[in-house]
Amino acid sequence: MQAMVYSTHSTLLTRLSEGVDPAAWREFHDRYADLLLGFARRYGIQPADCDDVVQEVFLNLTRSMKGFEYDPSRGRFRAYLKTLTLRTIFKIWRQKKDAKALEDTEVEEKAAKVDPEVEALWEEEWRHYHIRLAMRRLGGEFSEKDRMAFSEYALMDRSGAETAKMLGLSVDQVYQAKSRILKRLGQLIMEQVDDEG
């Protein structure tokens, strides 16, 4: 498994704003589709509608990104992405409701944009997104056994002894794999967050 190579955040946004760049859109999708799906699920969207949310957000982005100039002083891109995702979620809900319930949905949409619970959901999903992205980026930096040891011990809550026995490693090797991978994950996550501004 090879490590993933990404453009910097601002470089990617510039590539998207310049027009049709299929590779840039694939990279953008690889980076953010998982985040949008996760947030839609956390927000309570039916599984059948989660893919529609992602597709609609990307459709809206293709329209709005042409000529887009990223200016961090005006706000973070992730805030823009959250707003666009919430609009999409409520648009899908409005399409499924009767006319009488539309006004209630509009009130809910306005409230959601400033609701601390919604912000907490977005931030939690954002943190999980960065962990998943960093895990994908680890790729070839660690052996498959090290990654499996980390996954079983640190993520699946198996004991060090169980993990060692299952993978044919010593308990010390399991601990070392966890320590090295956690350290590298922390570095990658910091790089990702710094890159986003």
Higher pLDDT, 109 or 124: 124
Q: 20 and 59: one domain?
A: yes
Give pairs for 116-125: CB < 8 Å, separation 24+. Answer: 118/43, 118/86, 121/39, 121/42, 121/43, 122/39, 122/82, 124/42, 125/35, 125/38, 125/39, 125/42
- Confidence label for 90 from pLDDT (cuts 50, 70 and 90): confident
Q: 134 and 164: one domain?
A: no
Number of domains in the chain: 2
Q: 127 and 115: one domain?
A: yes
Check: CB of residue 180 under 8 Å from CB of residue 146: yes
| Confidence check: pLDDT of 56 > 90 | yes
Helix (H, G, I), strand (E, B) or coil at 173: helix
Q: Which domain holds residue 44?
A: 1-141
> What Å distances lie between residue 44 and 38, 49, 118, 141, 185, CA to CA?
10, 10, 11, 36, 29
| Confidence check: pLDDT of 103 > 70 | no
Helix (H, G, I), strand (E, B) or coil at 19: coil
How confident is the model over 10-43, as pLDDT tens digits? 788 888 888 777 888 898 888 899 999 999 998 8
- Confidence label for 175 from pLDDT (cuts 50, 70 and 90): very high
End residue of a domain, out of 141, 165, 188: 141
Instruction: Round to whole Å and give the CA distance between 188 and 194.
Output: 10
- The CATH number covering residue 177 comes to 1.10.10
Q: What are the helix (H) ranges across 44-115?
A: 47-64, 77-96, 99-114
Q: 7 and 48: one domain?
A: yes
Q: What percent of the chain has pLDDT over 70?
A: 86
Q: 9 and 85: one domain?
A: yes
Q: How high does pLDDT run on average in the chain?
A: 83
Q: 59 and 89: one domain?
A: yes
Instruction: Round to whole Å and give the CA distance between 179 and 185.
Output: 10
- Confidence label for 77 from pLDDT (cuts 50, 70 and 90): confident
Query: Which has the closest alpha carbon to 89: 30, 29, 49?
Result: 49
Q: 49 and 132: one domain?
A: yes
- Confidence label for 105 from pLDDT (cuts 50, 70 and 90): low
pTM: 0.73
The token duo for 125 is 């999903």
